[in-house]
Amino acid sequence: MSAATPVRVRFAPSPTGMFHVGGARSALYNWAVARQSGGVFVLRVEDTDAARNKPEWTEGIINALAAIGIHQDDPTFEGPYFQSHHAERHREAAEQLKASGHAYYCDCTREQLTARTGSEHLGYDGFCRDRGLAYAEGRALRFRTPDEGETVVKDVVRGDTVFPNKAIEDFVIARGDGSAVFLLANVVDDLDEKITEVIRGEEHLSNTPKQQLLWEALGATPPVWAHLSVIVNEKRQKLSKRRDKVALEDYLAEGFLPEAMVNYLMLLGWSPGEDEEILPFEELVRRFRISDVNTSPAFFDIKKLTAFNGEYIRALTPEQFLAACAPYLTAPYATWTPEQFDQALFETVAPLAQTRLAVLSEITANVDFLFLDQPVEDEASWSKAMKPGADAILRDARSAYETAEWAAEPLKETLLAIGEKHGLKLGKAQAPVRVAVTGRTVGLPLFESLEALGRDRVLARLDAAIAKL
């Protein structure tokens, strides 16, 4: 590819399920290459598998991409390309290959091939190569792979991979009904959309020599290839939707910020260097080089992603944080009714919550005690905090708080003195009070929470806990 050739990359998901984080990484790498080169990002939906594709999956992928800032930006085409809209063009390419002698019709069945080769697992034996069959319903069209030589896939991530042509069978490019298979449709779409660089997962590497042969047979120069390593879980197993949490939509719904997801996914197999990791996307794009991507499997570390997300949450402005929390303060997340929710009260504790959340959905459990008539009763928290002597702490706190100055610092000093009276440090002394008032052993700072909740409601909850003990 010459320096003057404009860069055009593509992301071509198949809408057969929710959007895999591995696909999101591939899309981001393509987007970064387009952005840093002033090139074009093409979004193509490969929807020819009618039995497995669903419109809602397509919409989900488009929406998930939009959430992380990615969209079709080909100025010549509005919206994503749909592979199914180009079936006739795929047929024309198949006929072109037949006419040029690069393909031939075959009527062999699997049973016949097995009988000839003595195995169900051997590739096609070329039986129909020189039979001169014409098109007929049910006859597949096969590509005539060169007998000699080799196909060298030049991959900017993996280097050169050599495939002896004799090891590549004469593969099917069109089915018996004339429709193109994925290999041919994919190549024709890339050719027509003038794709110059194909950046995708390594699971496609085995198809690449066949696709490169098709590019050359159609009289075109193959694109630059770049195959990304697989993403694995903590057991170093490839991320699987049957076993792992892999859908980008699920992470976003849980309250992982799009900016945090983008930052983390960009680092799955690549490093910006200089021991820096949390960087704005513009800076990641500036530093990104596809040739620097690692070939080793990339570990999807949810703990690290969560830590990233916490950093991004803390970096939000107060207004941004309030807006980001809003979806988690109503059904189906909220355990309170709309009438019980108090926006002004929430805003008083929001700055406290912002310093503690790892994901936005945690806001619900952190503030529910403010809006419910009684706190959510967590049995494990109760058992942990209500040890022998807890009732005495609660009674003393109840008595002192009836007249104490109602502000966080005086409330803290009061309980500190009660703890010293009972030979306890503040952490031990406040545990039963926290559980009595908020229902849990962890949460927002206790004394600011007491101040926000108000004297009457705090005293009522202490009374209820004392009665239960």
Summarize the annotated binding site as residue ranges.
106, 108, 128, 130, 241
Q: Whole-angstrom Cα distance, residue 69 to residue 24?
A: 11
Given 241, 245, 425, 468, which residue is catalytic? 241
CB environment 99-120: b (16+ within 10 A), e (fewer): eeebbbbbebeeeebeeeeeee
The CATH class for the domain spanning 374-469 reads mainly alpha
Instruction: Tell me what pLDDT residue 365 has.
Output: 94
* For residue 164, pLDDT beyond 50: yes
Whether residue 261 has pLDDT greater than 70: yes
pLDDT tens for each residue of 317-342: 999 999 999 999 999 999 999 999 99
pLDDT at residue 2 tops 70:
no
Task: State residue 161's pLDDT score.
Answer: 95
Q: Compute the average pLDDT of residues 384-404.
A: 96
pTM of the model as a whole? 0.92
The residue ranking higher by pLDDT, 221 or 4, is 221
Whether the pLDDT of residue 48 is over 90: the answer is no
Within the chain, which residue ranges are assigned CATH 1.10.10.350?
A: 374-469
How far apart, in whole angstroms, are the C-alpha atoms of residue 25 and residue 265?
Answer: 5
Q: Which tokens belong to 41?
A: 């990002």
Residue 207 CB burial class (10 angstroms; 0-12, 13-18, ≥19) = middle
Distance CA 247, CA 13 (A): 13
Query: Which residues line the annotated binding site for ATP?
Result: 241
Say whether the peptide bond before residue 332 is cis (omega within 30 degrees of 0). Answer: yes
**398 pLDDT more than 80:** yes
pLDDT tens digits for range 208-239:
999 999 999 999 999 999 999 999 999 999 99
**SS3 annotation, 319-366:** HHHHHHHHHHHCCCCCCCCCCCCCHHHHHHHHHHHHCCCCCHHHHHHH
The pLDDT value recorded for residue 1 is 45
Would residue 154 show up in a list of annotated catalytic residues for this protein?
no
Mean pLDDT of the chain: 94
Could you give the C-alpha distances from 185 to 40, 169, 192, in angstroms and in order? 21, 19, 10
CA dist., res. 126 & res. 140, Å (int): 13
Location of each CATH 1.10.1160.10 domain in the chain:
248-313
Torsion of CA 261, 239, 296, 43, to 10 degrees: -60
The two tokens of residue 331 are 């059904």
Is domain 248-313 given the CATH code 3.30.70.360 in the classification? no
What are the residues facing 400 on neighbouring strands?
A: none
